Amino acid sequence: MRLLLITNLYPPQELGGYGRCMADFCWGLKQRGHQLQVICNDASYLGRASTTGPSGEPVARELLLKGDFSDGVHLMQNASEQNAVDIHNQAVIQRWLGKDRWDGILLGNIDLLGVGLLHWLLDRTLPVLHHVGFVQSPYAVEQQPNIENYQLLAASHAVKTRLIKEGIRATNATIVYPGARTDLFGPEAIHRAPPNPPCRIKGKPLHLCFAGLLMESKAPHTLLEAIAQLHQQGYPIRASLAGAPFQKSYVKAMKSFCVDNKINNLITFYKQLTRDQLARFFLLHHAAVFPSMHPEAFGIVAVEAMASGLVLLSSGVGGASEVFEDNKSGLQFEAGNAHSLTTQIKRLFDDPGLLNALQKKGLIRAREQFDVQLSAQQIEEILLRKNHTDYPSCIQQF
């Protein structure tokens, strides 16, 4: 099949994990024999542009946004400027739709693109699969298309439940987890052994990490507060935080907290990492902390950490709870509660077998349930059904 993939941001220009999610869907579909063309915005403030994606897919960065994501979200206020963006984007979409015979459209994040883009796509009879990767609806209830060729895909059961609660017609939405490229993570992929187990008696530290946008709703400050508590109680502990400073004032406050609590020598801040860098970064640690306070749609970075063989310590808010099973393939703590996180971290010191057991079970769960190839197969099957097409012999069966 020939498919259009349309979203607002696309690697290497991205924030968080959603752009990587769409790129991984593209990779999985290409692995199954399909051809894709990506259309997105050129967000130069997020890094260099590229006319090809991570898997060699062609990328046309021709769409305009009604604002930007530079140091937060900034919305375009001028109505005439917004209208000019709509006119431009409609022309881009119509030109691409007329360029070739397409079998379907995979639509991602339409934030700052506007709902108008969705309706221009539905002017044709092409199936449009709209993957909703956030816990809030991408449009108001009255803006939802009511047309047979439009199909909602929810990033988790939590997303589907929230959409229904908001009044969106989503009872028939299919759960398609963002998943992860689990083949790119772990000791076998990186050719690096994990660190030796921690030991409080011998002073061998437990190495913890956080990877994600440095913003208050992601709550990496909860990890810093837990480190301060553990340090005061004599536990050997180290932590690394990697991510873009989405809220610069928040990052400044976290660094001041580290100095004030005399843990700045225990904490290392890194910039946002590429996926290759992230895979190597994980293998320097024993456990990853996913401390979000705002309900998450899923948690790609949590799956990547599990696939790397790390213990997942998660607040489990929203779809993040679907990534792991508490006390089996990860440990849950109360969102925003540093004492709760501290208690779970202590268990990794006090029970030598727990760390190893959680690492192994988490890795198996990541690979068997959340590999992106499973998601690509789901997307393929939906498109084939909507096109009333039998499986071609050239398509690989996962």
User: Using CA of residue 165, residue 170, residue 171, residue 175, what is the dihedral sign?
Assistant: negative
Select from 318, 319, 346, 315 the least CA-distant residue to 331: 315
Among all chains, which residue has been given the structure tokens 């004599």?
234
Cα distance between residue 281 and residue 308, in whole Å = 10
If asked whether residues 56 and 168 sit together in one domain, one would say: yes
Rg (CA), the chain: 22
Among all chains, which residue has been given the structure tokens 């009044």?
167
If asked whether residues 342 and 243 sit together in one domain, one would say: yes
Cα distance between residue 343 and residue 353, in whole Å = 17
| Position 137 in a domain | yes
The arithmetic mean of pLDDT across residues 213-242, rounded, is: 96
The arithmetic mean of pLDDT across residues 98-111, rounded, is: 93
| Position 262 in a domain | yes
If asked whether residues 191 and 329 sit together in one domain, one would say: yes
pTM above 0.85, yes or no: yes
If asked whether residues 310 and 266 sit together in one domain, one would say: yes
DSSP string across 22-52: HHHHHHHHHHTT-EEEEEEE--GGGS---SB
Select from 155, 113, 148, 111 the least CA-distant residue to 132: 155
Can you name the residues that pair with 289 across neighbouring β-strands?
313
- Convert the pLDDT of each residue in 161-190 to its tens digit: 999 999 999 999 999 999 899 999 999 999
If asked whether residues 341 and 317 sit together in one domain, one would say: yes
Q: What is the CATH number of the domain that holds 94?
A: 3.40.50.2000
If asked whether residues 326 and 229 sit together in one domain, one would say: yes
| Position 398 in a domain | no
Given a cut of 50, whether residue 398 has pLDDT beyond it is no
Please report, in angstroms and rounded to a whole number, the separation of the first and last CA atoms in the chain: 17
Q: Predicted confidence band at 389 (pLDDT cuts at 50, 70, 90)?
A: low
| Position 396 in a domain | no
* Three-class secondary structure of residue 250 per DSSP: helix
If asked whether residues 245 and 156 sit together in one domain, one would say: no
If asked whether residues 136 and 232 sit together in one domain, one would say: no
If asked whether residues 93 and 14 sit together in one domain, one would say: yes
Can you name the residues that pair with 318 across neighbouring β-strands?
296
- Convert the pLDDT of each residue in 364-379 to its tens digit: 999 999 999 999 999 9
Cα distance between residue 303 and residue 324, in whole Å = 9
* Burial class (CB within 10 angstroms; exposed 0-12, middle 13-18, buried 19+) of 189: middle
Tell me the two tokens of residue 194. 């994990």
Say if residues 342 and 208 touch (Cβ distance below 8 Å). no
Select from 97, 3, 57 the least CA-distant residue to 384: 3
If asked whether residues 123 and 269 sit together in one domain, one would say: no
- Convert the pLDDT of each residue in 206-227 to its tens digit: 999 999 999 999 999 999 999 9
State the residue range of the domain holding 330.
183-369
| Position 224 in a domain | yes
| Position 392 in a domain | no
DSSP string across 292-318: -SSPBS--HHHHHHHHTTPEEEE---B
Q: Predicted confidence band at 84 (pLDDT cuts at 50, 70, 90)?
A: very high
If asked whether residues 204 and 62 sit together in one domain, one would say: no
| Position 397 in a domain | no
- Please state the domain count of the chain: 2
If asked whether residues 200 and 337 sit together in one domain, one would say: yes
The arithmetic mean of pLDDT across residues 225-253, rounded, is: 94
| Position 395 in a domain | no
- Convert the pLDDT of each residue in 301-349 to its tens digit: 999 999 999 999 999 999 999 999 999 999 999 999 999 999 999 999 9
